[in-house]
Amino acid sequence: MLLGTQRINAQGHLAIGGCDTVELARQYGTPLYVMDEADIRQKCRALRAAYEKRYPNSLMLFATKSFMNLAICRIMDEEGMGLDLSSGGEAYTALKAGFPMERTYLHGNNKSMWELTLAVESGVGRIVLDNEREMDLLQAVAAERGLVQDVLLRVTPGIKPQTHSFIQTGQIDTKFGLGISTGYAIKGLATAKGLPNLNIVGLHCHIGSNIMGLDSFEMAARMMIRFAAQVRDELDITISELDLGGGVGVRYMEDDQPPSPEDYAEAVITGLHDEIEKYRLPHPRLLQEPGRAIVGEAGTTLYTIGTIKDVPGIRRYVSVDGGMSDNPRPTLYDAKYSALAANRASAPLTQKVTVAGKHCECDNLIFDVQLPEVEPGDILAVQTTGAYNYTMASNYNRFTRPAVVLVHEGTAEVIVERETLDDLLSHDRLPERLQPSVTA
Ligand SMILES: Cc1ncc(COP(=O)(O)O)c(C=O)c1O
């Protein structure tokens, strides 16, 4: 499976964005996250075009939790995207990247006072409220500054999409948002309506992540419009924005079949139009906030193969120089990945192996992947690691987090430096009484 600009070059090496990955590994070291800029831009353009063609009053947001740093903010700005920010740290990064804050939406299920303050003071476009406590906090922040803040309310439509249970978020039993069927959502809106420094402009939902079927997205769109009608009837509030979240799946494995941007837009907008007509509502501005669908397939992690160990009759472990610290998803949700030997990309696939990480955990990255004959020193490329790998990376076992390079038309540029061993110590403090004795 070759994704985005991935090709096999004349040397039989995997190339991405016109850069030889074996050369990238040599130059920047491994593990290394490689991001394919052309693929990221193409995904933004395809999603925007599919939506804007069918529904001109729409805005595509990029969910920065999937991949966040200064460079991606600049790319998203250039592509005319908005940002779905899920924390004060993400908001701060967007601000420092010079991103137009009016195109940002701040999410989160437990926003702190400092996060709300930062968001309001930096001119964030909308705050997506999750609960009534946040309403009180935001009312205080906005009132103190003499502002009226535009807000959406996150609601849970009661939909359980087909995906891993840890990334289902639209069902009633969730920490996110207020339930429609429990009556909490309408009650929350009534509360917000009574707060003078909050201006309710819309509703938000996000039903889950890495969803391959379109039914749940269409159903969510329909349910949200029905709820918008209830809100109009019971509270006399016009829903002028509807944010239907993210969640579209991507290709991790050869036989994964994520929906195309066209099919995705068609399903959502058909559902939306039907219900809008039925309930005689004005057409709200429509937002979607994909993360994985924009950056997932654009990312590849390069590792150097080290120990190769056989458990006779059971499996062969091929260990790499990273693991759960740079990709916790297999350990967290049993996520599946594809890989190829970057320096033997055209060699015949002769063996089935398990790719193991090097942490003090059973951090197997991939079970049963077909590889050619490999040896220590070879470069392994794990595909579709652009979303929720770099942003979920940790320093577990005091591993330094890898660098991120952006590749484009034969050029590679570092957009996040590799951490150093001294970076690991930079936040440690040693109290005087624990200093090593200077006397021998
Ligand atoms: C509120 C919200 N919006 C958008 C997203 C992005 O989801 P995905 O990367 O699957 O598109 C998430 C992911 O968890 C989310 O929680």
pLDDT single digits (tens) 393-421: 999 999 999 999 999 999 999 999 999 99
Q: What pLDDT score was predicted for residue 167?
A: 57
Does the pLDDT of residue 438 top 70, yes or no? no
pLDDT, average across residues 136-143: 98
Catalogue all structural domains in the chain, each as residue range(s) with its CATH number: 7-36+296-419 (2.40.37.10), 37-295 (3.20.20.10)
- CA–centroid distance, 289 to ligand 1, in Å, is 7
Q: What is the DSSP-derived secondary structure letter of residue 410?
A: T
**Ligand 1 atom closest to Cα of residue 169:** 16
Say how many Å lie between the CA of residue 273 and the centre of ligand 1.
24
| Catalytic site residue from 44, 205, 360, 362 | 360
Cα–Cα nearest to 89, from 123, 120, 119: 119
3-class state of residue 419 by DSSP = coil
Distance CA 3, CA 69 (A): 23
Q: Which residue has the tokens 């939909």?
A: 159
- What pLDDT is recorded for position 440? 53
CB-ligand 1 contact for 329 (6 Å cutoff)? no
Residue 82: CB within 6 Å of ligand 1? no
Distance CA 151, CA 272 (A): 21
Q: What is the mean pLDDT of the chain?
A: 96
- For the residues 192-198, what does the mean pLDDT come to? 98
Helix spans in 15-131 (H): 21-28, 37-54, 70-78, 88-96, 113-121
Residue to substitute in 60, 61, 209, 297 for testing ligand 1 pocket (most ligand atoms within 8 angstroms of CB)? 209
Whether 360 is a known active-site residue: answer: yes
Ligand 1 near 206 CB (within 6 A): yes
Mean pLDDT in residue range 423-439: 91
Kindly indicate the confidence band of residue 160, based on its pLDDT and cuts at 50, 70 and 90.
confident
pLDDT in tens, 280-320: 999 999 999 999 999 999 999 999 999 999 999 999 999 99
pLDDT digits (tens, 9 = 90+) for 253-262: 999 999 999 9
Residues 367-386 have a mean pLDDT of: 98
- Cα dist from 33 to 28, 180, 386, 415, 422, whole Å: 10, 41, 8, 10, 21
**Which pLDDT belongs to residue 197?**
98
Type of residue at 333: Y
* Pocket probe mutation, ligand 1, options 289, 294, 332, max atoms within 8 Å of Cβ: 289
CA dist 221 and 382 (Å) reads: 35
CA of 86 to the centre of ligand 1 (A): 9
Give phi and psi for 145, each to the nearest 5: -100, 5
In the block, tokens 């016009």 appear at 238
Determine if ligand 1 sits within 6 Å of the CB of residue 66: yes
Q: CB under 8 Å to 173, separation ≥6 — which residues?
A: none
Report whether residue 204 contacts ligand 1, using a CB cutoff of 6 Å.
no
At 21, phi and psi to the nearest 5? -70, -25
Name the percent of the chain lying above pLDDT 70: 97
Residue nearest atom 14 of ligand 1, based on CA coordinates: 209
Between the CA of 411 and the centroid of ligand 1 the distance, in Å, is: 30
Q: pLDDT tens digits for 243-288?
A: 999 999 999 999 999 999 999 999 999 999 999 999 999 999 999 9
Whether 164 shows a pLDDT value over 90: the answer reads no
Residue 309 Cα to ligand 1 midpoint, Å, equals 38
Percent composition of the chain: helix, strand, coil (DSSP 3-state, to 5): 35, 25, 40
Q: Is the CB of 208 under 6 A from ligand 1?
A: no
Mean pLDDT of all residues in 56-76: 98
Strands (E), 256-343: 285-288, 299-311, 315-320, 339-341
Res 357 pLDDT > 60: yes
